[in-house]
Structure 1
């Protein structure tokens, strides 16, 4: 990770880090085109459950999950997500226990049309590693 990204992150700027050539190539495998008007007849829902360390616990249409930095993740899916809706929630991957409280932001991943950029925070707004659930309506 670049020093400028670390400095910007520490200053509270939440700009996404650049995408490497390898990440872009891996994300382009099995990419399905997006539509420009409304939900197509082939509309689908996808999901990913990701552990705090960035590993993919399970998912539907999820290809990979990566922890980029503290509280900063990307999840790559098998379809183009441009124009989709992203819904995220802090939570553990198992069926028992309780997650530490926190907040989550989700947005499309810059440079990867089938990727989602996620940041998780403590309740005080400080970047922190948190497990999460991500739903995509496409």
Structure 2
């Protein structure tokens, strides 16, 4: 059975007009100053609740500093990078509920400081960390 709807795009989205499409095409090539440099890398680390580095890309070590506090080191300066962290299992299954904060590591330009929490405060949790450097 044939449909009169376009098979491209989500149902209900209006088609862009020619001017809008042309503007979007020029922005692809003109925003290099606002985007990541050509030398940019996406780094990541998966860390167990005990601070062990399970796997990663560009990650060189992970250390548990105290309950719910970790340091993750990388093979390059990440002090001015963007960080994204999430509580997540190091292997299969689901991680216990919790929250996470990430920040540059004071005094160590190639490391990220990570804190994990439960409702009761700092608590050890496994996590995933992505760094856009």
Structure 2 length normalisation: TM-score? 0.72
**TM-score normalised to structure 1 length:** 0.70
Partner of 1:17: none
- Pick one of 105, 112, 115 that aligns with 1:109: 105
Structure 1 gaps, min length 5: 1-36
Q: CA deviation at 1:39?
A: 2.5
Q: Does 1:137 align with 2:124?
A: no
Number of matched pairs: 100
Is residue 2:46 matched to residue 1:49? yes
1:56 is displaced (CA, Å) by 0.2
CA distance in 1, matches of 2:80, 2:104: 9
Partner of 1:119: 115
Q: Return structure 1 stretches of 4+ with deviation > 3 angstroms.
A: none
Residue of structure 1 in register with 2:72 after alignment: 75
Deviation at 1:40, TM superposition (A): 1.9
CA distance in 2: counterparts of 1:90 and 1:103, whole angstroms: 6
Correspondence for 1:66 among 52, 63, 67: 63
2:79/2:105 contact within 8 Å kept: no
Instruction: Report what 1:30 is aligned to.
Output: none
Per the TM alignment, residue 41 of structure 1 is displaced from its structure 2 partner at its CA by 1.2
| Uncovered stretches (5+) of structure 2, i.e. residues with no partner | 1-33
Deviation at 1:82, TM superposition (A): 2.1
